[in-house]
Amino acid sequence: MSAKILVFIDQFKGAALPAAWEALGAGQMLAGLLGGGEVAALVIGTGAQAVASQAFGYGVESVYYSEDPSLADYRPEPYGALLVKLARELAPQVLLLPTSVRGRELAAQAAIDLETGVLADVTELAVENGKLVATRPVYSGKVLAKTICQATPQVITTRGRAFARPAFDSSRSGAPVSLAAVLEEGQIAARVVGYTQSEGGVSLADAAVIVSGGRGLANNPAAAPGGLDEKQAEIWRAQQGFTLLGELAGVLGGAVGASRAAVDAGYISYDHQVGQTGKLVSPDLYIACGISGAIQHQAGMRSSKVIVAINKDGEAPIFKLARFGVVGDVYAILPALIEAFKQRLGKA
Partner 1 sequence: MKIVVAIKQTPDSAAKVVADGGQVAWGDAPLEMNPWDEFAVEAALLQADAQEAEVTAISVGGESAKEALKTALAMGAQQAILISDPALANADSQAIAKVLAAAIRKIGEVDLAFFGRQAIDGDMGVTGAMTARVLGWPMLGLVAAVQALSTDSIRVECSFEEGRQVVDCKLPAVVSVSKDISEPRYPSFMGIRKASRAVIPTWSLGDLGLAAPASVVVWPQVANPPARQVTTEMVSGGTAKEIAENLVDKILAEKVL
Binders in 39-98 for partner 1, by CB under 8 A: 73-77, 80
- Shortest Cβ distance from residue 170 to partner 1 (Å)? 26
- Shortest Cβ distance from residue 31 to partner 1 (Å)? 22
Distance CA 13, CA 251 (A): 27
How many C-alpha atoms does 33 have within 13 Å on its Cβ side? Answer: 20
- Shortest Cβ distance from residue 100 to partner 1 (Å)? 6
Positions in 259-288 near partner 1 (CB under 8 A): 270, 273, 276-278, 284-285
Concatenating the DSSP letter of every residue in 279-335 gives B----SEEEEES----HHHHHHHTT-SEEEEEES-TT-THHHH-SEEEES-HHHHHH
Q: Does 209 bind partner 1 (CB under 8 A)?
A: yes
User: Which of 88, 172, 231, 323 contacts partner 1 by CB under 8 A?
Assistant: 323
| DSSP label at residue 165 | P
* 52 CB-near residues (< 8 Å, 6+ apart): 9, 41, 43, 63, 64, 65, 176
Cβ-based nearer residue to partner 1, 62 or 141: 141
Cβ-based nearer residue to partner 1, 41 or 149: 149
User: Which of 172, 231, 344, 347 contacts partner 1 by CB under 8 A?
Assistant: 344
3-state secondary structure of 235: helix
- Shortest Cβ distance from residue 341 to partner 1 (Å)? 6
Q: Which stretch binds partner 1 (CB under 8 A): 29-37, 101-109, 178-186, 232-240?
A: 101-109
Handedness of CA 55, 105, 260, 280 (dihedral sign): negative
Q: Please give the C-alpha separations between residue 8 and each of 161, 201, 266, in angstroms, as whole numbers.
A: 17, 24, 37
Cβ-based nearer residue to partner 1, 116 or 240: 116
Contact string (CB under 8 A) for partner 1, positions 225-264, x = contact: ---------------------------x------------
Cβ-based nearer residue to partner 1, 195 or 230: 195
- Shortest Cβ distance from residue 156 to partner 1 (Å)? 11
Cβ-based nearer residue to partner 1, 177 or 208: 208
- Shortest Cβ distance from residue 150 to partner 1 (Å)? 5
User: Which of 9, 63, 162, 337 contacts partner 1 by CB under 8 A?
Assistant: 337
- Number of residues engaging partner 1 in binding (CB under 8 A): 94
Distance CA 12, CA 86 (A): 20
Cβ-based nearer residue to partner 1, 75 or 237: 75
Buried b (16+ CB within 10 A) or exposed e, 104-122: bbbbbbbbeebebbbbbbb
User: Which of 42, 68, 102, 259 contacts partner 1 by CB under 8 A?
Assistant: 102
Distance CA 121, CA 156 (A): 8
Q: Does 221 bind partner 1 (CB under 8 A)?
A: no
Q: Angle at which helices 330-344 and 230-252 pack, to 10 degrees?
A: 20
Q: Does 189 bind partner 1 (CB under 8 A)?
A: yes
- Shortest Cβ distance from residue 148 to partner 1 (Å)? 5
How many C-alpha atoms does 103 have within 13 Å on its Cβ side? Answer: 32
Handedness of CA 192, 196, 202, 203 (dihedral sign): negative
